[in-house]
Chain A
Amino acid sequence: MKRPRRGLFWVVYPTLLASLVLVAVLGAVAWRLFAGAMGMGGGASAGQARQMHMHLLGMLLSVAAVVGVAAYPVVSRLTRRLEALRLSVEAWGGGQLDRRARVDGTDEIAAVAASFNAAADRTDALLAAHKALLAHASHELRSPLARLALAAEMLAARTEPGLAALVRREIAELDALVEEILLASRLDHGPDPGENERVDLLALAAEEAARASVRMREVEADGIPFEVTGSSRLLRRLIRNLIENALQHGAPPVEVELARRTIDRDARIAIAVWDHGEGVPAALRARVFDPFFRPDGWSEEGGGWGLGLSLVRQIAERHGGRARCDADDGGATCFAVDVPAAR
Chain B
Amino acid sequence: MAETLLIIDDDVRLADMLRQYLSQAGFAVEARHTGLAGLEAVNGPAKAAYDAVILDVMLPDLDGLEVCRRLRERRDVPILMLTARGEDTDRIVGLELGADDYLPKPFNPRELLARLKAILRRRRDAGEGAPALLRFGRLEIDEGSRSARLDGVLRSLTSYQFDLLLALARHAGRVMSRERLMDLARGEELEAFDRSIDVHISRLRAALEDDPAHPRRIITVRGAGYVFARAQDQG
Contact = CB atoms under 8 A, between A and B. Distances in A.
Interface of A: 138-139, 142-143, 145-151, 153-154, 171-172, 175-176, 179, 182-183, 192-194, 199-200, 202-204, 206-207, 210-211, 213, 216-221, 223, 225-226, 232-233, 236
Contact of B85 (A142, A171, A225): A142
A232 B173 contact: yes
B130 interface: no
B223 A221 contact: yes
Given A147-B11, A206-B219, A219-B221, A225 B174 contact: yes
Interface residues of A, dominant DSSP: helix
A202 B214 CA distance: 18
Nearest to B11: A143
Given A147-B13, A153-B110, A207 B222 contact: no
B198 to A, nearest CB: 16
Given A139-B84, A142-B105, A216-B221, A150 B58 contact: no
Contacts of A139: 58, 84
B185 interface: no
A232 B105 CA distance: 20
A119 to B, nearest CB: 31
Interface in B73-97: 84-86, 88-89
B223 A233 contact: no
22 contacts: A143-B105, A146-B14, A149-B108, A149-B109, A150-B14, A150-B18, A151-B17, A171-B106, A175-B85, A194-B88, A200-B173, A200-B227, A203-B173, A204-B173, A206-B221, A207-B173, A210-B214, A216-B221, A216-B222, A218-B222, A219-B223, A219-B224
A153 B173 contact: no
Contacts of A213: 214
Given A143-B11, A150-B21, A203-B221, 6 more contacts: A147-B11, A154-B20, A154-B24, A200-B173, A203-B230, A219-B223
B231 interface: yes
Contacts of B220: 206
A170 B108 CA distance: 13
A207 B11 contact: no
B164 interface: no
B216 interface: yes
A207 B105 contact: no
B175 interface: yes
B224 A182 contact: no
A138 B84 contact: yes
Nearest to A183: B86
Listed from nearest, the 8 A-B pairs whose CB atoms lie closest are A146-B106, A153-B109, A145-B106, A203-B227, A218-B222, A218-B223, A207-B229, A221-B223
A147 B17 contact: yes
A150 B107 CA distance: 8
B227 A206 contact: yes
A190 to B, nearest CB: 14
B215 interface: yes
Contact of B17 (A138, A154, A171, A206): A154
B175 A206 contact: yes
